Amino acid sequence: MQRRHLLQSAIGAAALATTGAQAQSSAGFPAKPIRLVIAFPAGGPTDITMRQLAENASKLLGQPVIVENKPGAGGTLPAQMLQSSPADGYILAQIPLGVFRIGYTTKINWDPVKDIRYVINVTGYAFGIVVPTNGPIKNWADFVAYAKAHPGQLSYGSTGTLTSPHLTTELVAQKLGIQLNHIPYKGSSELMQAVIGGHVMAAADSTGFAQQVAAGNLRVLNTWGEQRLDKFPDAPTLKELGLDIVQNSPFGIGAPRDTPPDVVAKLHDAFKKAMEDPAYLQALARYDMLPNYMDSARYTRFAQDTVAREKALIDKLGLAKPT
């Protein structure tokens, strides 16, 4: 009995010590720089807007928020990094929409809903299809006609296999009965160089292409929102073109699953205030992006709902991994 009592006392003391250490750590958080890993390369819309958000949050947290770029794997590498990272709030990841479909297309040993702590959703992308102004395609009717006359020969680039631009374009092609040639790139900057250089005939991307459109290098064939974009008032939406498709792609910030709730709350509050800074709003406006705030609870529900919705899209396109 005495031995059992001593053992229970030791276990209780250890638990109290651990709890106390976590509480002390949380109370002093952050005590060092925070890493924010984003899913796309430097120089694109995601990188530029997230760096501004990180700079704003750094001032509020009293520690640097350092942005790291980890492109590839359809934008899912940062989320995958969370699975082997300490749950202490010092490693965060951008969570693009591709994270919610990875379980249907790739064999993974983690759950996109249960194994990420959803901190805050911050914004989303506006998308469209662009072509070079000096190319043979001048409007959407030209695009469709060329694709029908040359099956599999109309090449288009996207920011990666199984990203929203890729899957939405394939859904468009399926609805129109055309076959396209998809070429994946690591991010918007690389993709823009490819389409302007004539390596692909078109690009499906977020509106990071706006500067090249303004410079006269690219022409917008369509955009994918519910309504036309103010910056491209002459570009029809997919719905206007007779395709019942709307693609908006919210993204936010996640942390490892077991990150303490009070640390998550501190991060949420700092990034929420950082979203309200005029410098961040100006950065978003450059790419026709808007603030899209969801708190931790609502963002978690969004993740649950989106995982279910993405399964339907993957099944429709026949891209599910073999069982």
pLDDT in tens, 140-166: 999 999 999 999 999 999 999 889 999
Residue 40 contacts residue 249 (beta carbons within 8 Å): no
What Rg value do the Cα atoms of the chain yield, rounded?
A: 22
Query: Prior bond to 30 cis, omega within 30?
Result: yes
Q: What per-residue confidence (pLDDT) applies to 173?
A: 96
What is the model's pLDDT at position 26?
A: 64
- pTM score above 0.85: no
Which of the residues in the chain have pLDDT under 50? 1-24
pLDDT at 72: 85
Q: How many angstroms separate the CA atoms of 305 and 323, rounded?
A: 23
Question: Can you read off the two tokens belonging to residue 73?
Answer: 């794997």
Angle at 141 between CA 137 and CA 144, to 5 degrees: 80
CA dihedral 220, 221, 226, 232 (to 10 degrees): 30
Would you say domain 29-125+249-317 falls under CATH 3.40.50.1370? no
For the domain spanning 127-223, the CATH number is 3.40.190.10
DSSP letter, residue 99:
G
**DSSP 3-state assignment of 291?**
coil
pLDDT computed for residue 153 by the predictor: 98
| Confidence at residue 19, expressed as pLDDT on a 0 to 100 scale | 43
Give, for 275, the enclosing helix (H) or strand (E): helix 261-275
Q: Is 226 exposed, middle or buried (0-12, 13-18, 19+ CB in 10 A)?
A: exposed
Strand order in the sheet with 155-158: 181-184, 155-158, 202-206, 127-132, 218-223
| Reduced DSSP (H G I as helix, E B as strand, rest coil) percent helix, strand, coil of the chain, to 5 | 45, 20, 35
Taking CA atoms, 323 is separated from 267, 307, 317, in Å, by 39, 18, 16
What are the domain boundaries of the chain? 29-125+249-317, 127-223
Collect all residues with Cβ–Cβ distance below 8 Å to 209 and sequence separation of at least 6. 128, 130, 188, 192, 203, 218, 220
Residue 186 — φ and ψ, nearest 5°?
-85, -20
